[in-house]
Structure 1
């Protein structure tokens, strides 16, 4: 562990798993599509791809991608969230760990895609963001994809102000050897525009 509390832990105290799962269950019951991130990723993947769900939370995305035939591993630092994921899909791989030290978890590299959705990047421990991007890039196969979704203003974040800019994030990705391929305003693929408040980004690692 880095020894520094992430912004998510500051907000929730690390006890939000059941409440978070219940909120999405209620959304699904009311007819909302709660699989937008998984559908977005599935469109980028070949059959039976290896996926790393970084900051997987209660496992909503990884479980759905597994249902679609992909091999998914979830990692999260919040044990209350992982408890829900393990209960929902006990056969899947769920790892408790700090994304800034992903290389200590014994993961086999060569993932086809790593996803960090749900404002994972903005909610990391302050100062660890470049390390997390570097770790996620290192986990990918040549030509693999890093998919991220993050709010860029207070209206799209559970924070009073954004802790990072999109330019900073892109800089960390460039330093990690990643190249921006696509950027959207939503998980439905709506075009990104300056000031839209949310960004879904697809970066790729170098192909050999």
Structure 2
């Protein structure tokens, strides 16, 4: 049975924001802090490097009981036996990804509007990204923030598992949870923290509203 977003924090990798630490080192700290969903999202890596890192992360996440998602790269997700893949609106459509990964792997799709949410459900996505909630500089090609109103729409109208993403930090994570988000994605706030374990603990306290 698929485990889809059975956690409060959805963590993503980003080597460029990791204070000079390796993806593996940062992931190890996140797993030791109890992260249960980890997405590998590295936009500037060569394919061979991504494969090597994902092979290591697959072993680590399996040992930790953590769901492992690969961003964009369906081929690498299959090669390392990841639990799933996350795609954007301009990537391969969900139906094509499903043909490649089969029925048992998780497919997540980024959405930015009610129309895209409804389309994701119709296409068979297992979960959706809802955002960017706030302005973010983590992604170079990010769209304008959609605000908490889109999160309100998803929470009030659909049962599909969803993760709120985009500009979520320690100071506003509680607000996002109060609006109904059960799972929040964070990048820079975690990978850029000097003490990752302490930051995860502080985030969880802030989100326990």
What TM-score bracket applies, with the shorter chain setting the length? 0.3 to 0.5
In the superposition, the TM-score normalised over structure 1's length comes to 0.38
Point out the structure with the larger strand share: 1
Bigger RCO (CA 8 Å, 6+ sep): 2
- Which one has the bigger helix percentage? 2
Normalised TM-score (structure 2): 0.38
